[in-house]
Amino acid sequence: MEINNDCIRDVLAHLVNILYLEVCSDGMHGENTKTNLYEVINQFKGKHDESDVWYSVEILNEIGYIRMKNNRPKSRIILNQQEIHHVTYAGQQFYELTKPETIWKQTKGVLTTVGVHTLEFVEKTAHDMAVKSAEVATKIALTGQA
């Protein structure tokens, strides 16, 4: 199965937006909100193939961008029992780097040209694109010229 970077980005953005720490009314306790693989797959029906969404969640979990509780029986996976409850700091960093549409388009252009699609390379490329964009913005702010 191939990595679908657009799907990974979309899934991570969705999780960042729906998962948060909820503080209880007593002010002394809290818990993470959670979702499950079934809900995430349904969120992207018509946009991404179900197997791409599933694979994206598995990859995000494997590389430590999300935390999930795998309630996997040995023979069969039950989608609504695969709980996703947290986006890690590393996941947040990846999300922030790839969130701006201009940075993402530039990153995808490099990925297409080079042909490397690992998430580590995607993250490094997005970082490099963001740095270049910041350099241009700083120059414009300081000199008024691009």
93 belongs to a structural domain:
no
Residues 62-71 have pLDDT tens digits of 999 999 876 5
What's the pLDDT at 72?
59
Q: Which residue has tokens 């797959």?
A: 41
CATH code at 40? 1.10.10
127 belongs to a structural domain:
yes
94 belongs to a structural domain:
no
pLDDT at 57 over 70: yes
User: Nearest-CA neighbor of 4 among 83, 45, 60, 43?
Assistant: 60
Domain boundary among the residues 88, 111, 133 is at 88
Residues 67 and 9 in one domain: yes
Provide the 8-state DSSP code for 79. Answer: G
**CA atoms within 13 Å, Cβ hemisphere of 9:** 20
Residues 75-104 have pLDDT tens digits of 556 566 678 889 999 999 999 999 999 999
Residues 3 and 70 in one domain: yes
Nearest-angstrom CA–CA distance, 143 and 89 = 35
Residue type, 87: V
Which domain, by its residues, includes 115?
100-146
